[in-house]
Structure 1
Protein backbone atom coordinates (compact mmCIF):
# COMPACT_ATOMS: atom_id res chain seq x y z
CA UNK A 1 0.00 0.00 0.00
CA UNK A 2 1.29 3.47 -0.92
CA UNK A 3 0.39 5.24 2.30
CA UNK A 4 1.27 8.71 0.99
CA UNK A 5 -1.57 8.53 -1.56
CA UNK A 6 -4.07 7.88 1.25
CA UNK A 7 -3.13 10.79 3.54
CA UNK A 8 -5.97 13.29 4.02
CA UNK A 9 -4.13 15.62 6.40
CA UNK A 10 -0.82 15.48 8.21
CA UNK A 11 0.20 17.77 11.09
CA UNK A 12 2.82 17.58 13.85
CA UNK A 13 0.07 16.19 16.07
CA UNK A 14 -1.92 13.72 13.96
CA UNK A 15 -2.23 11.90 10.64
CA UNK A 16 -5.66 11.41 8.99
CA UNK A 17 -5.83 8.58 6.46
CA UNK A 18 -8.44 7.40 3.96
CA UNK A 19 -8.52 3.67 4.82
CA UNK A 20 -9.40 1.27 2.01
CA UNK A 21 -12.18 -1.26 2.52
CA UNK A 22 -10.92 -4.71 3.52
CA UNK A 23 -7.99 -3.42 5.58
CA UNK A 24 -7.78 -3.66 9.36
CA UNK A 25 -7.18 -0.42 11.27
CA UNK A 26 -4.83 -2.10 13.75
CA UNK A 27 -3.27 -5.60 13.67
CA UNK A 28 -5.39 -8.50 14.90
CA UNK A 29 -4.24 -11.61 16.73
CA UNK A 30 -3.45 -13.33 13.45
CA UNK A 31 -1.00 -10.55 12.59
CA UNK A 32 -2.58 -9.56 9.26
CA UNK A 33 -1.18 -6.32 7.81
CA UNK A 34 -3.05 -3.30 9.11
CA UNK A 35 -3.17 0.41 8.37
CA UNK A 36 -1.19 1.13 11.54
CA UNK A 37 1.70 -1.08 10.31
CA UNK A 38 2.03 0.91 7.09
CA UNK A 39 1.94 4.20 8.98
CA UNK A 40 4.59 3.03 11.45
CA UNK A 41 6.87 2.10 8.55
CA UNK A 42 6.48 5.62 7.12
CA UNK A 43 6.29 7.73 10.29
CA UNK A 44 7.69 5.73 13.21
CA UNK A 45 5.74 5.73 16.49
CA UNK A 46 2.03 6.53 16.15
CA UNK A 47 -0.92 6.07 18.51
CA UNK A 48 -4.36 4.55 17.87
CA UNK A 49 -7.25 6.91 18.64
CA UNK A 50 -10.27 5.09 17.12
CA UNK A 51 -11.00 2.33 14.59
CA UNK A 52 -13.16 1.51 11.61
CA UNK A 53 -14.63 -1.90 10.77
CA UNK A 54 -12.36 -3.77 8.36
CA UNK A 55 -14.89 -3.56 5.52
CA UNK A 56 -15.73 0.13 6.05
CA UNK A 57 -13.62 2.62 4.09
CA UNK A 58 -12.81 6.21 5.05
CA UNK A 59 -11.23 8.48 7.63
CA UNK A 60 -9.11 7.16 10.47
CA UNK A 61 -7.08 9.52 12.67
CA UNK A 62 -3.86 8.49 14.43
CA UNK A 63 -1.98 10.63 16.97
CA UNK A 64 1.73 11.33 16.53
CA UNK A 65 2.55 11.95 20.20
CA UNK A 66 1.25 10.94 23.62
CA UNK A 67 -0.24 14.34 24.47
CA UNK A 68 -2.32 14.46 21.26
CA UNK A 69 -3.30 10.82 21.77
CA UNK A 70 -4.73 11.71 25.18
CA UNK A 71 -6.55 14.78 23.85
CA UNK A 72 -8.06 13.08 20.80
CA UNK A 73 -9.08 10.01 22.81
CA UNK A 74 -10.91 12.29 25.26
CA UNK A 75 -12.65 14.09 22.38
CA UNK A 76 -13.89 10.80 20.92
CA UNK A 77 -14.92 9.39 24.29
CA UNK A 78 -16.63 12.66 25.25
CA UNK A 79 -18.60 12.67 21.98
CA UNK A 80 -16.99 15.97 20.98
CA UNK A 81 -16.11 14.70 17.48
CA UNK A 82 -18.75 15.03 14.77
CA UNK A 83 -18.72 11.78 12.77
CA UNK A 84 -20.41 11.53 9.37
CA UNK A 85 -20.71 8.53 7.07
CA UNK A 86 -22.19 7.87 3.65
CA UNK A 87 -23.57 4.57 2.47
CA UNK A 88 -25.86 2.71 0.11
CA UNK A 89 -28.77 0.77 1.59
CA UNK A 90 -31.28 -1.71 0.20
CA UNK A 91 -34.67 -0.30 -0.83
CA UNK A 92 -36.41 3.05 -0.41
CA UNK A 93 -37.07 4.50 3.03
CA UNK A 94 -40.53 5.73 4.00
CA UNK A 95 -39.02 8.61 5.98
CA UNK A 96 -36.30 10.62 4.25
CA UNK A 97 -34.66 11.64 7.52
CA UNK A 98 -34.81 10.75 11.17
CA UNK A 99 -33.01 9.60 14.29
CA UNK A 100 -32.60 6.03 15.52
CA UNK A 101 -32.21 5.92 19.30
CA UNK A 102 -31.87 2.25 20.26
CA UNK A 103 -29.46 0.48 22.62
CA UNK A 104 -26.94 -1.95 21.14
CA UNK A 105 -25.34 -4.98 22.76
CA UNK A 106 -23.40 -8.04 21.62
CA UNK A 107 -25.51 -10.96 20.44
CA UNK A 108 -25.79 -13.48 23.30
CA UNK A 109 -24.87 -16.39 20.99
CA UNK A 110 -23.26 -15.03 17.81
CA UNK A 111 -19.93 -13.62 18.94
CA UNK A 112 -18.88 -10.43 17.17
CA UNK A 113 -22.45 -9.69 16.06
CA UNK A 114 -24.46 -6.88 17.61
CA UNK A 115 -28.21 -6.60 18.28
CA UNK A 116 -30.64 -3.91 19.37
CA UNK A 117 -31.70 -4.45 22.96
CA UNK A 118 -33.14 -2.23 25.72
CA UNK A 119 -30.34 -3.45 27.98
CA UNK A 120 -27.70 -2.44 25.43
CA UNK A 121 -25.50 0.65 25.49
CA UNK A 122 -27.15 3.91 24.46
CA UNK A 123 -26.71 4.41 20.69
CA UNK A 124 -27.93 7.31 18.55
CA UNK A 125 -27.76 7.62 14.74
CA UNK A 126 -29.15 10.45 12.58
CA UNK A 127 -29.89 9.54 8.96
CA UNK A 128 -30.84 11.39 5.78
CA UNK A 129 -31.61 10.08 2.30
CA UNK A 130 -29.47 11.99 -0.21
CA UNK A 131 -30.62 10.18 -3.38
CA UNK A 132 -33.27 7.52 -4.09
CA UNK A 133 -32.97 4.90 -6.82
CA UNK A 134 -35.17 2.01 -7.92
CA UNK A 135 -33.76 -0.56 -5.49
CA UNK A 136 -31.36 1.48 -3.37
CA UNK A 137 -30.97 4.67 -1.33
CA UNK A 138 -27.75 6.72 -0.98
CA UNK A 139 -27.62 8.01 2.58
CA UNK A 140 -25.77 10.23 5.02
CA UNK A 141 -25.40 9.20 8.65
CA UNK A 142 -24.20 11.02 11.73
CA UNK A 143 -23.39 8.88 14.74
CA UNK A 144 -23.50 10.48 18.18
CA UNK A 145 -22.12 7.34 19.83
CA UNK A 146 -19.46 4.93 18.61
CA UNK A 147 -20.81 1.43 19.12
CA UNK A 148 -19.52 -1.57 17.17
CA UNK A 149 -21.44 -1.91 13.86
CA UNK A 150 -23.74 0.93 14.98
CA UNK A 151 -24.91 2.21 11.58
CA UNK A 152 -25.19 -1.31 10.19
CA UNK A 153 -27.38 -2.50 13.08
CA UNK A 154 -29.51 0.63 13.29
CA UNK A 155 -30.32 0.94 9.59
CA UNK A 156 -31.00 -2.80 9.34
CA UNK A 157 -33.56 -2.36 12.14
CA UNK A 158 -35.56 -0.16 9.72
CA UNK A 159 -35.49 -2.98 7.15
CA UNK A 160 -32.83 -1.35 4.94
CA UNK A 161 -29.45 -3.04 5.51
CA UNK A 162 -26.24 -1.64 4.03
CA UNK A 163 -25.62 -3.07 0.55
CA UNK A 164 -23.23 -6.08 0.53
CA UNK A 165 -23.44 -6.48 4.32
CA UNK A 166 -22.84 -10.19 4.95
CA UNK A 167 -23.66 -9.96 8.68
CA UNK A 168 -26.80 -7.80 8.79
CA UNK A 169 -28.00 -8.10 5.18
CA UNK A 170 -27.95 -10.67 2.39
CA UNK A 171 -24.33 -9.90 1.47
CA UNK A 172 -25.11 -10.14 -2.25
CA UNK A 173 -22.83 -8.19 -4.61
CA UNK A 174 -24.24 -5.59 -7.00
CA UNK A 175 -24.13 -6.27 -10.75
CA UNK A 176 -24.65 -3.73 -13.52
CA UNK A 177 -27.21 -6.12 -15.02
CA UNK A 178 -29.44 -5.48 -12.00
CA UNK A 179 -29.26 -1.72 -12.64
CA UNK A 180 -29.07 -1.51 -16.44
CA UNK A 181 -32.00 -3.07 -18.28
CA UNK A 182 -30.26 -3.72 -21.60
CA UNK A 183 -26.94 -4.96 -20.21
CA UNK A 184 -25.08 -7.60 -22.24
CA UNK A 185 -21.79 -9.35 -21.52
CA UNK A 186 -18.91 -8.34 -23.76
CA UNK A 187 -17.43 -11.04 -26.01
CA UNK A 188 -14.37 -11.36 -23.78
CA UNK A 189 -16.38 -11.98 -20.61
CA UNK A 190 -17.50 -15.46 -19.57
CA UNK A 191 -19.33 -14.20 -16.51
CA UNK A 192 -20.38 -10.80 -15.24
CA UNK A 193 -18.18 -9.26 -12.58
CA UNK A 194 -19.84 -7.40 -9.71
CA UNK A 195 -19.53 -3.62 -9.71
CA UNK A 196 -19.49 -3.76 -5.89
CA UNK A 197 -18.85 -6.74 -3.63
CA UNK A 198 -17.86 -5.05 -0.36
CA UNK A 199 -19.72 -3.22 2.39
CA UNK A 200 -21.13 0.01 0.91
CA UNK A 201 -20.26 2.18 3.92
CA UNK A 202 -17.72 5.02 4.01
CA UNK A 203 -16.49 7.15 6.93
CA UNK A 204 -16.82 10.47 5.15
CA UNK A 205 -16.20 13.41 7.47
CA UNK A 206 -14.84 14.23 10.94
CA UNK A 207 -15.08 17.60 12.72
CA UNK A 208 -13.24 18.41 15.94
CA UNK A 209 -11.33 21.17 17.74
CA UNK A 210 -7.76 20.44 18.84
CA UNK A 211 -5.56 22.96 20.67
CA UNK A 212 -8.01 25.75 19.82
CA UNK A 213 -8.00 24.96 16.08
CA UNK A 214 -11.04 23.62 14.25
CA UNK A 215 -10.54 20.74 11.81
CA UNK A 216 -12.97 19.44 9.21
CA UNK A 217 -11.52 16.38 7.51
CA UNK A 218 -13.16 14.74 4.51
CA UNK A 219 -12.34 11.43 2.81
CA UNK A 220 -13.07 11.15 -0.90
CA UNK A 221 -15.35 8.28 -1.87
CA UNK A 222 -13.42 5.25 -3.16
CA UNK A 223 -13.46 4.46 -6.87
CA UNK A 224 -15.82 1.47 -6.51
CA UNK A 225 -18.52 3.47 -4.72
CA UNK A 226 -18.16 6.37 -7.17
CA UNK A 227 -18.54 3.95 -10.10
CA UNK A 228 -21.65 2.37 -8.59
CA UNK A 229 -23.26 5.77 -7.91
CA UNK A 230 -22.50 6.85 -11.47
CA UNK A 231 -24.28 3.77 -12.84
CA UNK A 232 -27.25 4.25 -10.53
CA UNK A 233 -27.63 7.89 -11.56
CA UNK A 234 -27.23 7.08 -15.24
CA UNK A 235 -29.91 4.38 -15.11
CA UNK A 236 -32.25 6.05 -12.62
Structure 2
Protein backbone atom coordinates (compact mmCIF):
# COMPACT_ATOMS: atom_id res chain seq x y z
CA UNK A 1 0.00 0.00 0.00
CA UNK A 2 1.20 3.50 -0.74
CA UNK A 3 1.12 6.14 1.98
CA UNK A 4 -1.10 9.20 1.44
CA UNK A 5 2.02 11.32 0.84
CA UNK A 6 3.86 8.96 -1.53
CA UNK A 7 4.18 10.17 -5.11
CA UNK A 8 2.24 8.05 -7.59
CA UNK A 9 3.48 8.74 -11.13
CA UNK A 10 0.70 9.48 -13.62
CA UNK A 11 0.06 7.26 -16.61
CA UNK A 12 1.32 8.84 -19.85
CA UNK A 13 -0.16 7.63 -23.16
CA UNK A 14 -1.18 4.38 -21.51
CA UNK A 15 2.31 3.76 -20.11
CA UNK A 16 2.87 3.40 -16.36
CA UNK A 17 6.18 4.43 -14.82
CA UNK A 18 8.77 1.85 -13.83
CA UNK A 19 10.15 2.09 -10.29
CA UNK A 20 13.86 1.56 -9.58
CA UNK A 21 15.41 1.22 -6.12
CA UNK A 22 18.79 2.96 -5.90
CA UNK A 23 20.89 0.47 -3.96
CA UNK A 24 24.33 0.96 -2.45
CA UNK A 25 27.08 0.23 -4.98
CA UNK A 26 30.85 0.73 -5.00
CA UNK A 27 32.27 2.91 -6.35
CA UNK A 28 29.37 5.21 -5.67
CA UNK A 29 28.14 6.99 -8.82
CA UNK A 30 27.88 10.77 -8.76
CA UNK A 31 24.49 10.98 -10.47
CA UNK A 32 21.26 9.03 -10.87
CA UNK A 33 21.98 9.03 -14.61
CA UNK A 34 25.32 7.27 -14.04
CA UNK A 35 23.66 4.76 -11.71
CA UNK A 36 20.97 3.83 -14.24
CA UNK A 37 23.48 3.48 -17.07
CA UNK A 38 25.54 1.15 -14.86
CA UNK A 39 22.57 -0.92 -13.64
CA UNK A 40 20.99 -1.35 -17.08
CA UNK A 41 23.92 -1.84 -19.48
CA UNK A 42 21.63 -3.39 -22.13
CA UNK A 43 19.94 0.03 -22.51
CA UNK A 44 21.93 2.50 -24.63
CA UNK A 45 23.37 5.48 -22.77
CA UNK A 46 21.76 7.76 -25.37
CA UNK A 47 18.38 6.23 -24.47
CA UNK A 48 18.82 7.16 -20.79
CA UNK A 49 20.06 10.61 -21.81
CA UNK A 50 16.92 11.16 -23.88
CA UNK A 51 14.67 10.07 -21.01
CA UNK A 52 16.23 12.62 -18.66
CA UNK A 53 16.14 15.37 -21.28
CA UNK A 54 12.50 14.62 -22.10
CA UNK A 55 11.47 14.89 -18.44
CA UNK A 56 10.64 11.20 -18.11
CA UNK A 57 12.62 10.50 -14.91
CA UNK A 58 11.31 11.49 -11.45
CA UNK A 59 12.55 11.15 -7.89
CA UNK A 60 10.46 9.57 -5.10
CA UNK A 61 8.72 12.90 -4.42
CA UNK A 62 7.74 13.50 -8.04
CA UNK A 63 10.46 16.00 -8.92
CA UNK A 64 11.96 15.82 -12.42
CA UNK A 65 15.53 14.54 -12.38
CA UNK A 66 18.19 15.98 -14.67
CA UNK A 67 21.40 14.47 -16.00
CA UNK A 68 23.26 16.13 -13.10
CA UNK A 69 20.87 15.09 -10.29
CA UNK A 70 22.90 13.62 -7.43
CA UNK A 71 22.69 9.91 -6.66
CA UNK A 72 21.37 9.06 -3.20
CA UNK A 73 21.50 5.43 -2.09
CA UNK A 74 18.48 3.69 -0.56
CA UNK A 75 15.95 5.87 -2.34
CA UNK A 76 14.05 5.19 -5.52
CA UNK A 77 13.18 6.87 -8.79
CA UNK A 78 10.66 6.43 -11.57
CA UNK A 79 11.10 6.47 -15.32
CA UNK A 80 8.95 6.07 -18.42
CA UNK A 81 9.84 4.06 -21.47
CA UNK A 82 8.81 5.13 -24.96
CA UNK A 83 10.13 4.10 -28.35
CA UNK A 84 10.98 6.43 -31.21
CA UNK A 85 9.43 3.99 -33.69
CA UNK A 86 7.13 1.00 -33.40
CA UNK A 87 5.69 -1.20 -36.10
CA UNK A 88 1.90 -0.78 -36.01
CA UNK A 89 -0.01 -4.02 -35.45
CA UNK A 90 -3.05 -3.67 -37.75
CA UNK A 91 -5.40 -5.88 -35.75
CA UNK A 92 -7.83 -4.96 -32.98
CA UNK A 93 -8.65 -6.53 -29.62
CA UNK A 94 -12.23 -6.89 -28.41
CA UNK A 95 -13.43 -6.60 -24.81
CA UNK A 96 -16.15 -9.25 -24.54
CA UNK A 97 -16.92 -8.94 -20.81
CA UNK A 98 -16.01 -6.84 -17.81
CA UNK A 99 -17.08 -6.24 -14.25
CA UNK A 100 -15.56 -4.42 -11.29
CA UNK A 101 -12.70 -6.90 -10.94
CA UNK A 102 -11.60 -8.04 -14.39
CA UNK A 103 -12.14 -7.80 -18.11
CA UNK A 104 -12.09 -10.58 -20.69
CA UNK A 105 -10.32 -9.63 -23.91
CA UNK A 106 -10.21 -11.40 -27.28
CA UNK A 107 -6.60 -10.77 -28.36
CA UNK A 108 -5.57 -10.78 -32.02
CA UNK A 109 -2.52 -12.54 -33.43
CA UNK A 110 0.75 -10.56 -33.46
CA UNK A 111 -0.14 -8.33 -30.48
CA UNK A 112 2.31 -8.61 -27.57
CA UNK A 113 0.70 -8.66 -24.12
CA UNK A 114 2.85 -6.12 -22.24
CA UNK A 115 5.64 -3.62 -23.03
CA UNK A 116 8.84 -5.46 -23.87
CA UNK A 117 11.69 -5.11 -26.34
CA UNK A 118 10.51 -3.26 -29.43
CA UNK A 119 6.87 -2.89 -28.34
CA UNK A 120 5.30 -0.38 -25.95
CA UNK A 121 2.30 1.36 -27.51
CA UNK A 122 1.68 -1.64 -29.76
CA UNK A 123 0.85 -3.96 -26.86
CA UNK A 124 -2.49 -5.17 -25.53
CA UNK A 125 -1.92 -3.73 -22.05
CA UNK A 126 -1.03 -0.20 -23.20
CA UNK A 127 -3.88 -0.19 -25.72
CA UNK A 128 -6.29 -1.13 -22.93
CA UNK A 129 -4.87 1.49 -20.54
CA UNK A 130 -5.27 4.13 -23.24
CA UNK A 131 -8.81 2.90 -23.92
CA UNK A 132 -9.94 2.80 -20.28
CA UNK A 133 -7.71 5.31 -18.49
CA UNK A 134 -7.19 2.68 -15.78
CA UNK A 135 -3.51 2.51 -14.68
CA UNK A 136 -4.18 -0.59 -12.51
CA UNK A 137 -4.81 -2.95 -15.43
CA UNK A 138 -2.60 -6.05 -15.20
CA UNK A 139 -2.68 -9.34 -17.13
CA UNK A 140 -3.77 -12.22 -14.88
CA UNK A 141 -2.20 -14.71 -17.30
CA UNK A 142 -0.45 -14.44 -20.65
CA UNK A 143 -0.59 -15.47 -24.27
CA UNK A 144 2.34 -15.47 -26.68
CA UNK A 145 2.50 -12.62 -29.18
CA UNK A 146 1.73 -15.12 -31.94
CA UNK A 147 -1.31 -16.65 -30.18
CA UNK A 148 -4.80 -15.16 -30.43
CA UNK A 149 -7.78 -15.57 -28.13
CA UNK A 150 -9.12 -15.17 -24.63
CA UNK A 151 -7.10 -13.45 -21.92
CA UNK A 152 -8.13 -12.08 -18.50
CA UNK A 153 -7.03 -8.63 -17.32
CA UNK A 154 -7.27 -7.56 -13.66
CA UNK A 155 -8.89 -4.14 -13.16
CA UNK A 156 -8.21 -3.54 -9.46
CA UNK A 157 -5.36 -4.21 -7.06
CA UNK A 158 -7.60 -5.46 -4.23
CA UNK A 159 -8.79 -8.67 -5.93
CA UNK A 160 -5.86 -9.28 -8.29
CA UNK A 161 -4.17 -11.85 -6.09
CA UNK A 162 -7.31 -14.00 -5.93
CA UNK A 163 -7.43 -14.33 -9.70
CA UNK A 164 -3.69 -14.88 -10.02
CA UNK A 165 -3.90 -17.62 -7.42
CA UNK A 166 -6.70 -19.26 -9.39
CA UNK A 167 -4.32 -19.70 -12.32
CA UNK A 168 -1.37 -20.68 -10.12
CA UNK A 169 -3.38 -23.55 -8.59
CA UNK A 170 -4.72 -24.60 -12.03
CA UNK A 171 -8.34 -24.00 -11.12
CA UNK A 172 -8.98 -22.75 -14.64
CA UNK A 173 -10.07 -24.87 -17.61
CA UNK A 174 -8.51 -23.59 -20.82
CA UNK A 175 -9.32 -24.92 -24.28
CA UNK A 176 -7.34 -24.09 -27.41
CA UNK A 177 -7.85 -24.77 -31.11
CA UNK A 178 -4.95 -25.38 -33.49
CA UNK A 179 -4.46 -26.14 -37.16
CA UNK A 180 -1.63 -28.58 -37.86
CA UNK A 181 -0.72 -31.51 -40.06
CA UNK A 182 -2.82 -34.68 -40.18
CA UNK A 183 -1.21 -38.09 -39.60
CA UNK A 184 -3.44 -41.11 -40.05
CA UNK A 185 -1.26 -43.22 -37.72
CA UNK A 186 -2.01 -40.97 -34.73
CA UNK A 187 -5.10 -42.07 -32.82
CA UNK A 188 -6.88 -39.44 -30.74
CA UNK A 189 -7.55 -38.46 -28.04
CA UNK A 190 -3.91 -38.41 -26.94
CA UNK A 191 -2.60 -37.25 -23.56
CA UNK A 192 0.93 -35.99 -24.15
CA UNK A 193 3.26 -35.83 -21.14
CA UNK A 194 6.79 -34.49 -21.67
CA UNK A 195 9.69 -32.99 -19.75
CA UNK A 196 10.28 -29.49 -21.10
CA UNK A 197 13.23 -27.21 -20.32
CA UNK A 198 14.77 -24.08 -21.81
CA UNK A 199 16.30 -24.67 -25.23
CA UNK A 200 18.64 -22.95 -27.66
CA UNK A 201 18.04 -20.20 -28.65
CA UNK A 202 17.08 -19.16 -25.09
CA UNK A 203 13.54 -18.12 -26.08
CA UNK A 204 12.66 -21.65 -27.21
CA UNK A 205 11.83 -24.80 -25.25
CA UNK A 206 13.08 -28.34 -25.77
CA UNK A 207 12.00 -31.85 -24.80
CA UNK A 208 14.48 -33.81 -22.68
CA UNK A 209 14.55 -37.15 -20.88
CA UNK A 210 13.13 -37.23 -17.37
CA UNK A 211 9.95 -36.98 -15.36
CA UNK A 212 7.20 -35.17 -17.24
CA UNK A 213 6.47 -31.59 -16.17
CA UNK A 214 3.94 -30.77 -18.89
CA UNK A 215 0.67 -32.41 -19.91
CA UNK A 216 -1.86 -31.75 -22.69
CA UNK A 217 -5.00 -33.59 -23.79
CA UNK A 218 -5.27 -33.45 -27.59
CA UNK A 219 -8.46 -34.27 -29.52
CA UNK A 220 -9.09 -34.35 -33.27
CA UNK A 221 -11.99 -32.10 -34.34
CA UNK A 222 -11.88 -32.42 -38.14
CA UNK A 223 -9.39 -33.11 -40.91
CA UNK A 224 -8.81 -33.43 -44.61
CA UNK A 225 -6.06 -35.44 -46.28
CA UNK A 226 -3.20 -33.27 -45.09
CA UNK A 227 -4.36 -30.87 -42.37
CA UNK A 228 -6.42 -31.10 -39.21
CA UNK A 229 -8.08 -28.97 -36.57
CA UNK A 230 -7.29 -30.01 -33.00
CA UNK A 231 -8.74 -29.23 -29.59
CA UNK A 232 -6.09 -28.85 -26.90
CA UNK A 233 -6.60 -28.89 -23.14
CA UNK A 234 -3.38 -28.10 -21.24
CA UNK A 235 -3.18 -29.39 -17.68
CA UNK A 236 0.05 -27.47 -17.06
CA UNK A 237 1.22 -24.09 -18.28
CA UNK A 238 4.78 -24.38 -19.56
CA UNK A 239 6.06 -21.79 -22.01
CA UNK A 240 5.20 -22.80 -25.61
CA UNK A 241 3.72 -26.05 -24.25
CA UNK A 242 1.10 -26.62 -26.95
CA UNK A 243 3.49 -25.73 -29.74
CA UNK A 244 6.15 -28.11 -28.39
CA UNK A 245 3.69 -30.96 -27.76
CA UNK A 246 2.24 -30.93 -31.27
CA UNK A 247 5.69 -30.59 -32.79
CA UNK A 248 6.83 -33.60 -30.74
CA UNK A 249 4.01 -35.63 -32.31
CA UNK A 250 5.29 -34.68 -35.75
CA UNK A 251 2.42 -32.27 -36.43
CA UNK A 252 3.82 -28.78 -35.75
CA UNK A 253 1.25 -25.97 -35.64
CA UNK A 254 0.83 -24.23 -38.97
CA UNK A 255 2.94 -21.07 -39.40
CA UNK A 256 4.93 -21.66 -36.20
CA UNK A 257 8.09 -19.50 -36.48
CA UNK A 258 9.92 -21.48 -33.75
CA UNK A 259 9.04 -25.16 -34.03
CA UNK A 260 10.43 -27.28 -35.53
CA UNK A 261 12.85 -24.62 -36.85
CA UNK A 262 13.45 -21.00 -35.87
CA UNK A 263 12.51 -18.85 -38.85
CA UNK A 264 12.57 -15.13 -38.10
CA UNK A 265 10.12 -12.98 -40.03
CA UNK A 266 10.15 -9.25 -40.61
CA UNK A 267 8.41 -7.33 -37.82
CA UNK A 268 5.87 -5.94 -40.29
CA UNK A 269 5.10 -9.31 -41.90
CA UNK A 270 1.58 -10.23 -40.74
CA UNK A 271 0.88 -12.61 -43.61
CA UNK A 272 0.98 -15.97 -41.82
CA UNK A 273 -0.42 -15.97 -38.26
CA UNK A 274 0.32 -18.93 -36.02
CA UNK A 275 -2.73 -21.17 -36.18
CA UNK A 276 -3.24 -21.34 -32.42
CA UNK A 277 -6.26 -19.86 -30.66
CA UNK A 278 -7.14 -19.67 -26.95
CA UNK A 279 -10.76 -20.53 -27.67
CA UNK A 280 -12.46 -21.05 -24.32
CA UNK A 281 -11.93 -20.48 -20.61
CA UNK A 282 -13.98 -21.58 -17.60
CA UNK A 283 -13.48 -21.00 -13.88
CA UNK A 284 -15.29 -20.43 -10.61
CA UNK A 285 -15.03 -16.74 -9.82
CA UNK A 286 -13.05 -16.47 -6.55
CA UNK A 287 -15.00 -13.35 -5.54
CA UNK A 288 -18.60 -14.32 -6.42
CA UNK A 289 -18.27 -18.16 -6.60
CA UNK A 290 -20.14 -17.96 -9.92
CA UNK A 291 -19.10 -20.30 -12.76
CA UNK A 292 -17.75 -18.08 -15.54
CA UNK A 293 -17.33 -19.19 -19.17
CA UNK A 294 -16.01 -17.16 -22.10
CA UNK A 295 -15.26 -18.05 -25.72
CA UNK A 296 -13.27 -16.26 -28.40
CA UNK A 297 -15.25 -14.94 -31.33
CA UNK A 298 -12.35 -15.85 -33.60
CA UNK A 299 -12.25 -19.12 -35.56
CA UNK A 300 -9.53 -21.21 -37.15
CA UNK A 301 -10.60 -22.98 -40.32
CA UNK A 302 -9.10 -25.72 -42.46
Q: TM-score range by the shorter chain?
A: 0.7 to 0.9
Question: Which aligned segments of 4 or more residues in structure 1 are displaced greater than 6 angstroms?
Answer: none
- Unpaired segments ≥5 residues, structure 2: 1-89, 264-270
Structure-2 change in CA distance of 1:120 and 1:96 (3 Å)? closer
Deviations, residues 144-180 of structure 1 (Å, cap 9, x unaligned)? 11111000001110100001112114689xxxxxxxx
- Unpaired segments ≥5 residues, structure 1: 173-195
Deviations, residues 60-112 of structure 1 (Å, cap 9, x unaligned)? 100111232101110101010001100101123521211001121111x3210
| CA distance in 1 between partners of 2:204 and 2:189 (Å) | 26
1:61 match: secondary structure: strand
Other-structure match for 2:249:
158
| CA distance in 2 between partners of 1:161 and 1:139 (Å) | 11
Between 1 and 2, higher relative CO (CA 8 Å, sep ≥ 6) is seen in 1
Structure-2 change in CA distance of 1:213 and 1:79 (3 Å)? same
Other-structure match for 1:16:
104
TM-score (norm 1): 0.79
Other-structure match for 2:130:
41
| CA distance in 2 between partners of 1:200 and 1:90 (Å) | 11
Alpha-carbon RMSD across the aligned residues, in angstroms, is: 2.2
1:102 match: secondary structure: strand
CA contact (8 A) 2:102 2:153 kept: yes
Q: Given the alignment, which residue of 94, 97, 101 partners 1:6?
A: 94
CA contact (8 A) 1:164 1:171 kept: no
Higher helix content, 1 or 2: 1
CA contact (8 A) 1:163 1:169 kept: no
CA contact (8 A) 1:162 1:169 kept: no
Largest Rg, 1 or 2: 2
The reply to whether residue 205 of structure 1 matches residue 280 of structure 2 is yes
2:247 match: secondary structure: helix
Q: Given the alignment, which residue of 43, 58, 74 partners 2:165?
A: 74
CA contact (8 A) 1:163 1:171 kept: no
The reply to whether residue 50 of structure 1 matches residue 141 of structure 2 is yes
The reply to whether residue 137 of structure 1 matches residue 214 of structure 2 is no
- Following superposition, the deviation at residue 31 of structure 1 comes to 3.6
CA contact (8 A) 1:83 1:207 kept: yes
* Aligned length, in residue pairs: 201
| CA distance in 2 between partners of 1:130 and 1:31 (Å) | 35
1:45-124 aligned at under 5 Å gives the runs 45-93=136-184, 94-107=186-199, 109-119=200-210, 122-124=213-215
